[in-house]
Structure 1
Amino acid sequence: MPVSARWGGAGTLARVTPEELAEAIRNVLIAAVTDGSLALPVDEVPVPKVERPRSREHGDWATNVAMQLAKKAGTNPRALAQLLAERVGALDGVASAEVAGPGFLNIRLDAASAGELARTIVTAGTAYGTNDSLAGQHINLEYVSANPTGPVHLGGARWAAVGDSLARIMTACGAEVTREYYFNDHGTQIDRFARSLLAAARGQETPEDGYGGSYIGEIAARVTADEAGAGRPDPATLPDVEATEVFRARGVDLMFAAVKAELHDFRTDFDVFFHEDSLHTSGAVERAIGRLRERGVIFEADGATWLRTTDFGDDKDRVLIKSDGDPAYFAADVAYYLDKRARGADCAIYLLGADHHGYIGRMMAMCAAYGDEPGVNMQIIIGQLVNLVRDGQPVRMSKRAGTVVTLEDLVDAVGVDAARYALARSSMDSMIDIDLNLLASTSNDNPVYYVQYAHARIRSVARNAAERGVSRDAGFDPAQLDTPHDSQLLGVLAQYPAIVAQAAALREQHRVARYLETLAAAYHTWYGATRVTPRGDDPVDAGHVARLWVNDAVGQVIANGLGLLGVTAPERM
C-alpha cells in the first residue's frame, strides 16, 4: 500500500488521530526499508508512539521513534529523524516535519487536515473513542462485595463508582465484562447481624460485637411484621437458636434487597450476585482443593490441610481446612477464583479496600498455584479510604456504632452525578476527601459542575446557532479552522481515544475524568476566542459552520466520556 493511501481520498488526511498518524509514520519507515534507505528488517519496524509535545509551539504531534531505532539501523538518531522529516513532511495534510533535540520529530498538520477530526467525531457519534484493544478478553470484575449487614457505606460507594466506570470503559474497548458482587452470606459477621436483629426485636441492648445502627430496628420490625402477615408466630418469642435463624434468613434477604436498590439508584447494576455460602454447600471448596492436590501443592500438617503458597512468593503457607474440619476463610477465596475461571474469565479483577492489602501475597500465590499468571489472570486493585468533609470538619462514620455515613447520605447531599464523579476522578490508591459544600456548589472549583456546564454551554451554542441559521448541513470546510485556539482544541479532542484505551489497559478510570476537565478548559477558552454565530447582522460564513462542527464534536466527546463514568451530560444548567 502506498504511504499516501492511508491518508484518505484526494490527497487529504482523512482523520487526525494519533493512531492514524503513527500508522502513516510506520508506513514511511517501511518504505525506507524497502528502498534501501534504512538498514532494518521490516518485521522490526514498530508502530511508533505519537504524543502531543509539551509546548504547542513545537507542533501538533511528536515522536521519538528515530531515537528508538537508530542503533538497530546503524545510524544516529538525528540522521534518521531527518530522513523521516523529509518523507513525513511530504505527506498530504502535513504542513511541516522538523527535527528537534537529539532526534525528536515534531509534526505540524495543515488546518484542513487537523480540522477533519471534527467531522470524524460528529459522524462517529457515541462510537467515537471506542476501540478493540481488549477484544476477545473475558474479564470478571468484582467490586463492592460488602457484607450484607448494613447499608452501603462510603468506601463501598467508591468501589461502586470506580468498578462500574471501569466496566463501562473496558466494555468500550471491546472486552466482555462480567460485573460481579460477592455476597458474603457465610461467617461470623452474619451471625452478629442476626443476633443484633433479635436483640432489637426483643427491646434488648445491642450485643457488644453487634450492629447498632437505626436500620437494625427497622429491619427487625419488618421481619416481625412479615412473619405475622404470613401467619407465623412472632420470631422474638421463639427459643434463641430458632429465633436467630429466622432473623438471619429474613434479615439478610431484606438487607441485601436494600443494598441492591441503593446500588441500582446509583446506576450500578451487576450481572452476577455470587453467594459465598454456595461454595461450601455445592462442594466447590472440595473440588478446588482436589485440583490443587493434583498439582502437588497441598500438604497435611498438624491435622490441617494446607496450600503451599510459599512456593509462589507468599510469606507463609496457608491453611485451607482447619484441624477441626471447618474450612478456613481462605478456602472460599481459593474456590471462588477457580469458579470464576471455570465460568470463562480470562482475567479476574478484584477491587478491595485498604484493609485487604495483606491479602495480595496469598491471593497471587494461589493464582500461581493453579498454574495461572498473577497480574494477568488475577489482578487486585486496592482502594484507599474516603473522608467526608462538611464546613471544614470531618463527618465521622462508624458502621457498628450506628453513625455510618452511607451511599444514600452522600447522594442525598450532592446527587448521583456529583457523587459518582467525585469518587471516580481520583486514583484508587489515593485517599480522598469529599467536600460536600464544594460538590453542591455551582462554581468552576466543582469539577463535575465544570465539565457538565461545558456540555450545557455547548448545547446552548448549538441552539443559538440554529436560531441564527448556522447549520452543519451547509457543508464543512475544515481549512477555516486556522486559529491557534482551533488547533489547541482539536489537539485535545484527538487525545480522547488514546485516553480511553489507556484507562482500560491500566485500570485507571480517573484518566477519563481528568481528561474531560482538560477538554472543558480548552473548550471554555476556545468559546471565548472564536465565534460559532455571526455578530449582529453579519452573514453566516463558512467559518461559523466549521466551528459549529467543532462545537458539536466537543459536546459529543464530553457526553461520551461522562457516559463512561456513569454521569449525565445535561442539555441545560
Structure 2
Amino acid sequence: MTPTELAALLRAATQKVFQAHDLDTSLIPESVVVERPRSPEHGDYATNIALQLGKRAGVNPRELATWLTEELATDTGIASAEIAGPGFVNLRLAAAAQNQTVATVLEQTTAYGRGDELAAMHVNLEFVSANPTGPIHLGGTRWAAVGDALGRVLSARGAEVTREYYFNDHGEQINRFANSLMAAAKGEPTPEEGYAGEYIDEIAATVVAKVPGILDLPVDDAREAFRSEGVELMFAHIKKTLHEFGTDFDVYTHENSMFDRGMVDEAIAELKASGNLYEADGAWWLRSTNYGDDKDRVVIKSDGHHAYIAGDIAYVRDKHQRGANHLIYMLGADHHGYVVRLKAAAAALGYDPEHIEVLIGQMVNLVKDGQPVRMSKRAGTVITLDDLVEAVGVDAARYALIRSSIDVNIDIDLDLLRKQSSDNPVYYVQYAHARLCALARHADELGLTLSTEHLDLLDDPAEGDLIRTLGDFSEVVTTAATLREPHRVCRYLESLAGTYHRFYARCRVLPQGDEEAGDVHTARLALCAATRQVLANGLELVGVTAPERM
C-alpha cells in the first residue's frame, strides 16, 4: 500500500465516521495528509486528520481519532491504528498490504512513478534561451539540466510538454556580435561592448574560410555576412552542446522570425483593435497597468522601432495559437521584472495570466581546490557548459545542477564531483544501482530467481523501511511536477540509496557458503529488483544514466 492509496483509504474511513455520527462531510478535504513519522516506533505512517477536522466538526479531536481508529481496524490492510497526543493517528500496515508495493513495482517496471493527473495540461516549457553570441554559460547550463528534468517529471505525470528554445537573434547584441567577429578577422581590438574570447577567434576564422574574400567586401556587406554566418555557427554549436548534455528541444524559435513572418505586426494590430494599445507622445503603449503592471509599457518607440516587449507579446500569442494552455518560462536571476510584464501581455491578448508561469533561477558558482573559479564573459574567460562537462562529465554535472532548489545559489565543487565515494551524491546513487545489478548477476550465477510469492516473509524493520521508501516514489514525482521542483527526485534517490545500503548491511540477500536458498532469499531478491527499478526510473527522470557496473 503506497501513501497515496493509504490517503484514499483514510479519506473513505473518515467519510464513514462522519456519516455514522451525523457530521458535515463537506468538511473532509479532497486529499488527506499522510506522513512518515520521524521515529519508526510511532508506526509506519501518521495522519493529523482528526486534529484538522475535530473542532470544525464540533467534536473533540481525540474522540474523532478514536472513532477513526475503530473504523480503520476493520480494514485488512491496517495492522494497527493508535491514538497519540491530542489526536494524531499512528498507523502500521499489515505485511501483505505493505509488501504489495514490491509486486506493484515489478509489475509496472518503467511505468512505476508515472500517472495522468496532469493530462489536461499542454505545457510550453521554454528554457535556456541564451543569446546566440557565445557558448552556453553556467547559468544557462543550470537551466539546461533543470528544464530538461522538469519536462521529464511533468510528462511522467501526464502533461503534454513542448520543450522550446528561443533564440534572441534580433537586436543590438547581434550587431555587437557581428562587429566582434569582423574585428577578430581583421586582427583588430575587440569593439567597445563587444564579445571576446577564443570562440570569437574560432568563429571568425571559420567564416573567413567559408566566405572567401569576405574582408574585401564593403563594410556593411561584410558585417551582414559575419552576422548571418556567425550566428548560424553559434546556433549549431549551442544545439550540439545541449544534445551532448542530454537536453533536446521540440521547437527552436528565432526571435527574428517573429518580425520576418509578420507575427509582431499581427499581435500589435490585435491589441490596437481591442483598445489595449494606445498612442501617446509619438509612441504606442500597452495598457499593462490594467493588468497588474506598475506602469504602461512602450511597444513601439517614437522613432518607429519596436521595443523588446513587442517580440514577447507576439511570442505569447504564438505559443497559445500552437495549442499550449500553460506557459512556463525559466529565466535568470536578473529577470524578475519580466514576470508581471509577461502576465500583463497575456491578459491584454485575452489569455488567462494564471497560466503564465515564470520560474526565476539563481546563480551557479564553481569551486576548485576550495577557491571560486572566476568567470568574465567580456574578458573571454566565461565558464561554459563544455568546460563543466569536460571537468566532471555529463552525469555529475546534470545531477549537481538539478539536486538543489532553483531558489538558491549553488556552489559546484569540482573536486567533490570527481570523487568515487559516498560524499559525491551522484556516485552514491549510481553506485547503489550498480551494486544491485551486481547482486542480480551473482544470483543468476547461483541459479536463484526472484519471487513475489513469499513477500510476507519480509518482516525485518530494514525491509519495511525500504519498502515504504519505494512506495513514496509516485508521490515524490507528483510533488516535483506540481511544485516545479525536480530537485525533489534527486533528494529522494539519495534517501532511497541510503535506505537500501542500510538494508543490505542488515539483511542477507543471497545464501552464504553451504546455506540452502530459501523463500526469504527469493523474496529479498524481489525487493532488490524493485529497488533497482525505482532507482533507474528516478535517474531517468533527471536525465542521468543508471550504470550496471562501476
Structures share fold, TM-score greater than 0.5: yes
SS class of match (1:299): strand
Give how far 1:298 is off.
Answer: 1.8
Task: Give CA deviations for 1:326-380 in whole Å, capped at 9, x if unaligned.
Answer: 1000111111111111111111100001111222232222233334333x31000
Matches of 2:207 and 2:226 in 1, distance apart? 7
Unaligned runs of 5+ in 1: 1-15, 229-233
Q: In the alignment, what sits opposite 1:508?
A: 485
Rate the CA distance shift 1:45–1:267 in 2: closer, same or farther, 3 A.
closer
1:478 corresponds to: 455
Match of 2:59 among 75, 80, 93: 75
Whole-Å separation in 2 of the counterparts to 1:285 and 1:412: 41
- Aligned equivalent of 1:464: 442
RMSD across aligned positions (CA): 1.5
**Offset at 1:192?**
0.7
1:499 paired residue among 459, 471, 476:
476
**Aligned partner (choices 395, 398, 402) of residue 420 of structure 1:** 398
In 1, the alpha carbon distance for the partners of 2:29 and 2:208 equals 72
Kept in 1: contact 2:103–2:452 (CA 8 A): no
**Residue of structure 2 equivalent to 1:541:** 518
Distance 2:423 2:85 in 1: 38
Contact 2:112–2:534 (Cα < 8 Å) also in 1: yes
Question: In 2, are the aligned partners of 1:30 and 1:42 still within 8 Å (CA)?
Answer: no
Cross-structure match for 1:239: 218
Kindly state the Cα deviation for residue 20 of structure 1 after the two structures are TM-superposed.
Answer: 1.1
Matches within 5 A, 1:399-418: 399-418=377-396
Deviation at 1:475, TM superposition (A): 4.6
Distance 1:319 1:423 in 2: 37
Deviations 1:29-58 (A, max 9, x none): 333355x33422479563422221222211
2:430 to 446, 452, 456: 452
- Distance in 2 (CA, whole Å) between partners of 1:510 and 1:133 is 20
What is the CA-CA distance between 1:63 and the residue it aligns to?
1.6
For 2:101, the equivalent position in structure 1 comes to 117
Shift in Å, 1:26: 2.2
- 1:323 maps to 2:302: yes
User: Following the alignment from structure 1 to structure 2, what is the Cα–Cα distance between the partners of residues 455 and 44?
Assistant: 41
**Counterparts of 1:238 and 1:513 in 2: how far apart (Å)?**
54
Contact (CA 8 Å) 1:227, 1:235: kept in 2 or not? yes
Matches within 5 A, 1:169-248: 169-228=153-212, 234-248=213-227
**TM-aligned CA deviation for residue 162 of structure 1:** 0.4
SS in 1 for 2:131: coil
TM-score normalized by the length of structure 2: 0.97
Q: Does 1:381 align with 2:359?
A: yes
Q: Which of the residues 139, 144, 148 maps onto 2:123?
A: 139
State the one-letter code of the partner of 2:159.
Answer: A
Find the aligned partners of 1:192 and 1:42 in 2 and give their Cα distance: 63
Which residue number corresponds to residue 28 of structure 1?
Answer: 13
Report the counterpart of residue 523 of structure 1 in structure 2.
500
User: Does the CA contact (< 8 Å) of 1:112 and 1:477 recur in 2?
Assistant: no
SS in 2 for 1:403: coil
Q: Which letter does structure 2 place at the counterpart of 1:519?
A: L
For 1:151, which of 135, 143, 154 is the aligned residue? 135
Cα distance in 1 between the residues matched to 2:130 and 2:77: 54
Q: Does 1:167 pair with 2:151? A: yes
Task: State the Cα deviation string for residues 67-115 of structure 1 (Å, max 9, x = none).
Answer: 2332443322111111110111221121101111222211101223211
Change (3 A) 1:436 1:44: closer
TM-score w.r.t. structure 1 length? 0.93
| Structure 2 counterpart of 1:555 | 532
Alpha carbons of 1:156 and 1:42: their partners in 2 closer, same or farther (altered >3 Å)? closer
CA distance in 2, matches of 1:538, 1:214: 65
Instruction: Confirm or deny: 8 A CA contact 1:38 1:73 kept in the other structure.
Output: no
Query: Hey, what's the Cα distance between the residues in 1 that align with 2:138 and 2:369?
Result: 18
Q: Does 1:274 align with 2:259?
A: no
Contact 1:465 1:532 (C-alpha < 8 Å) held by counterparts: no
Q: Give the whole-Å Cα distance in 1 for the aligned partners of 2:459 and 2:314.
A: 61
User: For residue 429 of structure 1, what is the aligned residue in structure 2?
Assistant: 407
Unaligned stretches of 5+ residues in structure 2: none
Q: Compare 557-566 and 111-120 and name the one that shifted more.
A: 111-120
Distance, in Å, in 2 between the alignment partners of 1:102 and 1:294 is 62
Aligned CA distance change for structure 1 residues 44 and 450 (closer, same or farther; 3 Å): closer
Amino acid at match of 2:465: Q
AA in 2 matched with 1:499: V
CA contact under 8 A between 2:77 and 2:94: conserved in structure 1?
Answer: yes
The verdict on how the C-alpha distance between 1:38 and 1:63 changes in structure 2, with shifts beyond 3 A counting, is: farther
Q: Distance in 1 between matches of 2:516 and 2:199?
A: 65
* Alignment-derived partner of residue 280 in structure 2: 301
Q: Distance in 2 between matches of 1:123 and 1:278?
A: 48
> Aligned pairs, how many?
550
Which secondary structure state, in structure 1, belongs to the residue aligned with residue 271 of structure 2? helix
- TM superposition shift of 1:300: 1.3
Aligned match of 1:362: 341
For 1:285, the equivalent position in structure 2 comes to: 264
**1-side partners of 2:378 and 2:125: how far apart?**
28
Moved over 4 A (4+): 42-45
Q: Supply the distance in 1 between the matched residues of 2:360 and 2:449 (Cα, whole angstroms).
A: 49
Cα distance 1:475–1:172, how it changes in 2: closer, same or farther (>3 A)? closer
Give the secondary-structure state (helix, strand or coil) at the position aligned to 2:161: strand
SS in 1 for 2:211: helix
